[in-house]
Amino acid sequence: MELKNPFIHLRAHSDYSLLESTLKLKKIIELTKEEKMPAVAVTDHNNLFGALEFSQLAIKQGIQPIIGAELLVKRPTSLKDTATPQHFDTLVLLAQSEQGYKNLIKLVSQAHLDVAINEVPHVTFEQLKTYHAGLICLSASTKGAITRLINEGNLKEAESYIDLLKEIFADQFYLELTRQGYLEEVKAEPFILEQAQKKSIPIVATNPYYFLTPSMHEAHTVLMCISDGTYIHSEDKRTVSPESYFKSQSQMTLLLKIYPRHWKIQRSSHKNALFMSKRRIQCCHDLRVVRACLNQTRCGASVSKG
């Protein structure tokens, strides 16, 4: 029996997130179908390598593919943000339409081609302002600037960052909530919920995942050590939460019921994922759109600007 309001995963990472995930796209689609989820978004890190394969596999199984990417974004100079030496935060972009898919291609390309040789692939806010049309933006939870700024005590800067994203993406901007056991989540959630209500910004619940089961967390940590050239016993090694695995419908529903006083808001965030998959994400349900976009990119066709 199909659930009335099924949870939709909007932050799946495949093995195209090089040395960050080992999940095959085929497995992601199998898990999605087993859980009777009508759609799924794959948001690999700084690339769209799996877009065509993902669309083919999903459509073959009757699942709505939502094409997206997790991009590093250079911090805007307009904000007084000097608390840490790091210069980049993350945003999640989902293609809503064919125009959005073309703009996402452009942004991912610029992330790799329009940066200094000694910089990591990233985009700027100026580029987001130019190529935002047809894209939905998620705030990226613990990887994003908003959660970071809140945890650094820079609430005014966090609010300014929210305003900046709302100015660019308008009602296509979603504040993102996750519950994966990070202390940063716990500290940031009340302020995020307050801002969502104050500024009428929709929220969406996600569960970014990189591996299949909790037992695979240690192996995933080893993978990240290989990626970074560090050792498993290093105290400062990069890792993700043990909760970063594929969660079922029932697991996600239970997770969002943990705090009763926020249940009304959390229920809305639960439904927003389904809302986006059914009504707002229209891109790439037809493989001809994906193939056409890829062909135009090879030919150097112009990209629509928002």
Q: Which residues pair with 72 in a beta bridge?
A: 90
Element of type H or E holding 67: strand 64-74
Q: Which residues pair with 71 in a beta bridge?
A: 91
Residue type, 5: N
Domains in the chain (CATH in brackets) are: 25-209+246-299 (3.20.20.140)
Nearest to 69 by CA among 163, 149, 136: 136
User: Looking at residue 123, what DSSP letter applies?
Assistant: B
Crossing angle for the helix pair 51-60 and 25-34, nearest 10 degrees? 30
pLDDT score for 204: 87
Tell me the per-residue pLDDT of 93-121, one tens digit each, with 9 for 90 and over: 999 888 999 999 999 999 999 988 888 99
Spatial distance between the Cα atoms of 47 and 91, rounded to a whole number of angstroms:
13
Length of the chain: 306
Nearest to 99 by CA among 123, 131, 130: 131
DSSP E strand boundaries for 130-213: 135-138, 173-177, 203-205
pLDDT score for 123: 96
pLDDT score for 278: 47
CA separation, residue 51 to residues 3, 96, 189, 279 (Å) = 28, 14, 32, 20
pTM: 0.86
Spatial distance between the Cα atoms of 254 and 76, rounded to a whole number of angstroms:
37
pLDDT score for 5: 65
pLDDT score for 254: 84
CB 131 within 8 A of CB 103: yes
pLDDT score for 263: 38
Tell me the per-residue pLDDT of 177-228, one tens digit each, with 9 for 90 and over: 999 999 999 999 999 999 999 999 988 889 999 999 999 999 999 999 999 9
DSSP E strand boundaries for the chain: 39-45, 64-74, 88-95, 135-138, 173-177, 203-205
Nearest to 14 by CA among 62, 60, 47, 56: 47
Q: What is the pLDDT along the chain (306 residues), one digit of tens a residue?
A: 455 667 889 999 999 999 999 999 999 999 999 999 999 999 999 999 999 999 999 999 999 999 999 999 999 876 655 445 458 999 999 998 889 999 999 999 999 999 888 889 999 999 999 999 999 999 999 999 999 999 999 999 999 999 999 999 999 999 999 999 999 999 999 999 999 999 999 888 899 999 999 999 999 999 999 999 999 999 889 999 999 999 998 898 888 775 444 434 444 444 545 444 444 444 444 444 444 444 443 333 333 344
Spatial distance between the Cα atoms of 107 and 92, rounded to a whole number of angstroms:
12
